A and B are shown apart, each in its own frame.
Chain A
């Protein structure tokens, strides 16, 4: 097969940069996007390069950020503006290819193999166009697979292009910590460290079957990634079909005996679903709950909503009420699966988020977005609702399960 040319374009400090485009007096200053200044519990959602250098981190309380960085300017978020800029970026990419696969609001993979132009030249043109036309900057990685392209875009920031070729990947990628690899979660990183593997190069040099024995199929995929063997395609923009449902299930380490225990598991499971919906810009119009009892008999319950949502607490609430009003409790519960159903993208013309207008829900959205940022930075179990703290019947590794975008499949 012909060598592919894959670009991964990542907008630098996306939220903060959008704010600077709209208010140039903020340029080159320490800027953070954060919750309402008046609110005592506001936290940092995003920060500019300068704020980052001063020690401001995502998820930090506003007061602490201000202490770390005396001249920090905190602006409220404008999510509708970020989504506009995200679409404008996409329009620029579309000049080169229709194979555009988004990863969150500010990142995209592009397959430009058919362009007949050097990948580096295309990357430089895109970088310049984004700067001229939108006033934003992007970092672009150019490589022969998606995984290395993504790593490449992280190597030089902001406003830069990095080429990872078959000739230089050992020198550029292999020294990086293995945790940088897509889908290498906290638990996996820990297991690898126990095997003496801390860098991507060390993983690549291990025997594949050893890694597979220790980490299963996920390990085998990671080994492929480390060796530049990722062959997952960039999805065509019209074929990027969001999953029809986003679900998460678990077999409990011990059977659940009452609604209270089951509710905690449901809350835990829905956390992941809310996170994934927001990551992929999807909305759910209903929820389904599948209960498997100790005799392996399954019961399935569903509920449709009157609008769409990304809110995990709503999904959890509805799933719990399905359970309470339907499950006969003649037997203990062995496994639970909760699924967000009739999924639609945020691009669906009639946006019917049933809570969109109210101020309270806007706040909740901002909170979710902040919580997601913390999860992105510190891992999925870094921040949890108090309800699930004393939950003990879920397998421990569940919290670190990777959430896969598009068709990047584990194994």
Chain B
């Protein structure tokens, strides 16, 4: 079972309107994103999302994937959990 983990993300915009995630905050601690490796339109099939953009980033020496859902303006990552909560839908998360 996979769930969406909501993320607080610091973003910078270039003059031509292109944006890039710069920082991620987890549990009140802020991490600097070292590098954005790739960016593509991709919907993870394990959680509910409307056409998000997938950013593959380097943070703290690790490669991670974070997603931006334009429709809601929300950032999230995907996490596997053991506890099953089947039936939990996009509309209640």
How many angstroms from the CA of A315 to the CA of B45 in the assembled complex? 43
> Given A84-B71, A133-B41, do A24 and B51 touch, yes or no (CB 8 Å)?
no
B89 in contact with A133 (CB, 8 Å): no
* B53: nearest chain-A partner, CB-CB: A133
Taken residue by residue from 86 to 130, chain A's Cβ proximity to chain B (1 for < 8 Å, 0 otherwise) reads as 001000000000000000000000000000000000000000010
A23 in contact with B41 (CB, 8 Å): no
Hey, which chain B residues are within 8 Å of A129, CB to CB?
A: 41
Number of interface residues of B (CB under 8 A): 19
Whether, in the assembled complex, B26 has its beta carbon less than 8 Å from a beta carbon of chain A, the answer is no
Taken residue by residue from 18 to 59, chain B's Cβ proximity to chain A (1 for < 8 Å, 0 otherwise) reads as 000000000000000000000001110111111100000000
> Given A84-B50, A88-B51, do A24 and B45 touch, yes or no (CB 8 Å)?
yes
A22 in contact with B91 (CB, 8 Å): yes
Whether, in the assembled complex, B88 has its beta carbon less than 8 Å from a beta carbon of chain A, the answer is yes
* Distance (whole angstroms) from the CB of B69 to the closest CB of chain A: 11
* Distance (whole angstroms) from the CB of B28 to the closest CB of chain A: 30
Whether, in the assembled complex, B13 has its beta carbon less than 8 Å from a beta carbon of chain A, the answer is no
> Given A21-B43, A84-B71, do A134 and B51 touch, yes or no (CB 8 Å)?
yes
B42 in contact with A23 (CB, 8 Å): no
Which label, helix, strand, loop or mixed, suits the secondary structure of the B interface? loop
Hey, which chain A residues are within 8 Å of B45, CB to CB?
A: 24, 27, 135
A6-49 with Cβ < 8 A to chain B: 21-25, 27
A24 in contact with B47 (CB, 8 Å): yes
B43 in contact with A135 (CB, 8 Å): yes
Hey, which chain B residues are within 8 Å of A171, CB to CB?
A: none
What are 11 residue pairs bridging A and B, where the CB atoms are less than 8 Å apart in the complex?
Answer: A22-B89, A22-B90, A23-B48, A23-B90, A24-B2, A27-B45, A84-B71, A132-B41, A133-B42, A133-B43, A133-B51
Chain B interface residues toward A at CB < 8 A: 1-2, 41-43, 45-51, 71, 86-91
Chain A interface residues toward B at CB < 8 A: 21-25, 27, 75, 78, 81, 84-85, 88, 129, 132-135
